[in-house]
Amino acid sequence: MRLKGGAIAAVVMTFAVTGCTDQQTKGSSGPGEAGSGGAAVAAADSLTVKGRAPKTGYSRARFGTAWADTDSNSCDTRDDILKRDLKEVKFTGGTCKVTYGLLEPDPYSGKDVTYRRGRSQVDIDHVVALSDAWQKGAKYWDPSKRIALANDPLNLLAVDASTNRGKGDGDTATWLPPNSAYRCAYVAAQVAVKKKYGLWVTAAEKTTMKKVLTACPNQKLPSGGNPTKAPERFRAR
């Protein structure tokens, strides 16, 4: 995975579908952007609609050891994402273990957050929550695909911890970032992850995705990240 420093830029949108600003029509920033006008809306429309399956059998362990080094760069996934999303990053013992950085701004709340290792100011969020994925197809996957989803930078974002705790395992129909300026980018990321991994959505979820993205019709669809199968050494887990 090739990760770059720098904060994630926001796109401006109004959740009530009333039109787009110049910033909106340019799309959002983030790793591996691709696509053109309407790509995110079209991708959302292509997602399969089914009901939410039971959460029975779900546990975090079903998605492998937390923050596995699936890209074999000798840094765990959490530190990779901190390096990508924080400014003024400081390390200890090399260039992997992040001890300090600035999240300016936090995409979910819009406020500035300081990261210091050992303090719960910053979370690495799974944009598509793992339990949500479990209920929408991941229950039936090979374990290596679940490990890949849990560690794919396309599905990971450094965010304010307190705001993220309010999200829980919500999908687009039940939770959107309080920072309305980031909602287009957030929904586009959820669409991109669900499309990449073949996850389905509920009818309410798809309706909300399209409602948000209609307000920013030129929103780009993020792309890239890791392969959808973890390396061989993880497959027996």
**13 domain-assigned:** no
In this predicted model, which residue has the larger pLDDT, 104 or 30? 104
pLDDT in the model for residue 38: 84
Global pTM reads 0.83
| Residues above pLDDT 90, as percent of the chain | 78
| Contact between residue 193 and residue 154 where contact means Cβ atoms under 8 Å apart | yes
Average pLDDT, the chain: 86
pLDDT in the model for residue 88: 98
Q: How far apart are CA 214 and CA 184, in angstroms?
A: 9
**149 domain-assigned:** yes
Long-range pairs of 134-137 with CB within 8 A, sequence gap ≥ 24: 134/53, 134/55, 134/57, 134/58, 134/62, 135/52, 135/53, 135/54, 135/55, 135/58, 136/50, 136/52, 136/53, 136/194, 136/199, 136/200, 136/201, 136/202, 137/197, 137/198, 137/199, 137/200
Residues 6+ positions from 211 with CB-CB distance below 8 Å? 17
In this predicted model, which residue has the larger pLDDT, 124 or 38? 124
**3 domain-assigned:** no
Q: What is the dihedral of CA 122, 127, 129, 133, to 10 degrees?
A: -160
User: For the chain, what is the domain count?
Assistant: 1
pLDDT for 95 beyond 50 = yes
pLDDT for 237 beyond 80 = no
pLDDT in the model for residue 203: 98
| Residue 202: domain span | 22-234
pLDDT in the model for residue 235: 61
**132 domain-assigned:** yes
pLDDT in the model for residue 63: 97
**1 domain-assigned:** no
Q: How far apart are CA 2 and CA 229, in angstroms?
A: 18
Residues 6+ positions from 59 with CB-CB distance below 8 Å? none
| Contact between residue 224 and residue 46 where contact means Cβ atoms under 8 Å apart | no
In this predicted model, which residue has the larger pLDDT, 14 or 101? 101
Mean pLDDT of 112-125: 95
Q: How far apart are CA 179 and CA 181, in angstroms?
A: 5
Mean pLDDT of 80-91: 98
**50 domain-assigned:** yes
At 86, is the pLDDT very low, low, confident or very high (cuts 50, 70, 90)? very high
**128 domain-assigned:** yes
pLDDT tens track for 128-179: 999 999 999 999 999 999 999 999 999 999 999 999 999 999 999 999 999 9
Residues 6+ positions from 236 with CB-CB distance below 8 Å? none
DSSP H or E stretch at residue 79: helix 77-85
**30 domain-assigned:** yes
